[in-house]
Amino acid sequence: MTLLEVQLPVRNPTEVMQRTIDSLLAQTTREFTVVLSDNWSTSGTELIERALAQLREAGIAACKVTPPRELARVEHWNWLHARAEAPWVKPLFVGDWLEPACLERFLAAFGLFPQAGLVHVAYHLHQEGRPAMAIPQVVPFGYRPPAVMQESVLRIGHQFGPPSAYAFSHEAFLAIGGYRPSLPIAADCLFCCTLAARSGVVTIPDLLANFFIHGARFSTGLSARRRATLREELTYHGLLTYHAWTERRAVPWGGVARHAARKIRNYLYGR
């Protein structure tokens, strides 16, 4: 069994998936497995088969799975992640890609800090028709324990990038249950912040992942759903704050209020 399972939830993939697969083929390590989960695609199934063949040909253990019935987007992530066999899970979405050293760096971090719940890297944001934008990490390489991250997520909120920029401990995933489908926009924010506050975080400040907002992506339509986005952000932050309070941890109430005010101001001023 490998230490790391890269999981791709897929539905009706297009040619943008090839770049994702190419980036796995180009990894400097082969110490990982790949699981492609096809959520009952009605198109692009030949691309999934081609991806599997390419991965296997390159010496990467790869398999395809299918949920028992078609699931909603976030439900599909939960189903897929729950069935992981490796102790670490790396989600990777169609269209995103990893730099060649990415998985090797993740594996090194798992070895150094096995107590962490979440490991994340800096990433580039790509949008069609716009230059790539680097989203750096301001903290140096290392592990930040739960007490530090508890305060950090309450003051700053989500700071770990898109799913393609992080990997998480499967054991921690099983304990927290998974992503909340009731927050389709902010499910990953709540998930990462919960893991961070529970088990701590390893930050790798190098730009090792690429997040591509292509036309078929859920994130593409978010600019038209700003009100729903604000509501979800305030709800997930409320859940985190309340949880910290129930556990009698220190809650930076001023920081929490400033964070909420910042979100509301950004919404009102269209940022």
Q: How far is the CB of 72 from another protein (least distance, A)?
A: 8
Can you read off the two tokens belonging to residue 62? 């790869």
Closer to another protein by Cβ: residue 77 or 106: 77
Closer to another protein by Cβ: residue 41 or 235: 235
Give residues in contact with another protein (CB under 8 A). Answer: 67-69, 71-72, 74-76, 78-79, 82, 171, 174-184, 187, 194, 198, 228, 231-232, 235, 238-240, 242-243, 245-248
Closer to another protein by Cβ: residue 57 or 247: 247
Closer to another protein by Cβ: residue 153 or 207: 153
Q: How far is the CB of 203 from another protein (least distance, A)?
A: 23
Answer yes or no: are the C-beta atoms of 145 and 228 closer than 8 Å: no
Closer to another protein by Cβ: residue 78 or 159: 78
How far apart (Å, rounded) are the C-alpha atoms in residues 138 and 140?
Answer: 7
Q: How far is the CB of 76 from another protein (least distance, A)?
A: 7
Q: How far is the CB of 53 from another protein (least distance, A)?
A: 29
Question: In Å, what is the CA distance from 197 to each residue of 31, 70, 106, 110, 200?
Answer: 29, 32, 20, 18, 6
Answer yes or no: are the C-beta atoms of 97 and 8 closer than 8 Å: no
Answer yes or no: are the C-beta atoms of 42 and 30 closer than 8 Å: no
One-letter identity of residue 40: W
How far apart (Å, rounded) are the C-alpha atoms in residues 198 and 21?
Answer: 32
Q: How far is the CB of 231 from another protein (least distance, A)?
A: 6
